[in-house]
Amino acid sequence: MCHREVHYTRHCCGHDNPHFEYRVDCKSAQCRYSASHNIKCTSCSTTCKQWLRPAQSVVTAKMQALCFHCSVYRP
């Protein structure tokens, strides 16, 4: 099934900030979110997958600085 891939920056405090996401196409004709799915599918609700798989998180950058919340609300 198709899913979203969310790219994050991880800060030294352990918090992650998302910076972009996109949909990964499974290329299955039986998935309603895929570009390979027939737009004129007549039995889609009973024969095709109707949901996305859970989003996958990918840390693409690491920062040696605190995130916004930790830097502003630090005691």
Domain ranges of the chain: 3-72
Token pair in block for residue 51: 């949901």
- pLDDT band with cut points at 50, 70 and 90 for residue 73: confident
**Average pLDDT of 53-64?**
96
Q: Which helix (H) or strand (E) holds 16?
A: strand 16-24
Instruction: Supply the pLDDT for residue 72.
Output: 87
- DSSP secondary structure letter of residue 32: T
In tens, the pLDDT along 5-50 reads: 999 999 999 999 999 999 999 999 999 999 999 999 999 999 999 9
Q: What is the pTM of this model?
A: 0.75
**Gap between the Cα atoms of 10 and 68, Å rounded:** 12
- Residue 71: is its pLDDT beyond 80? yes
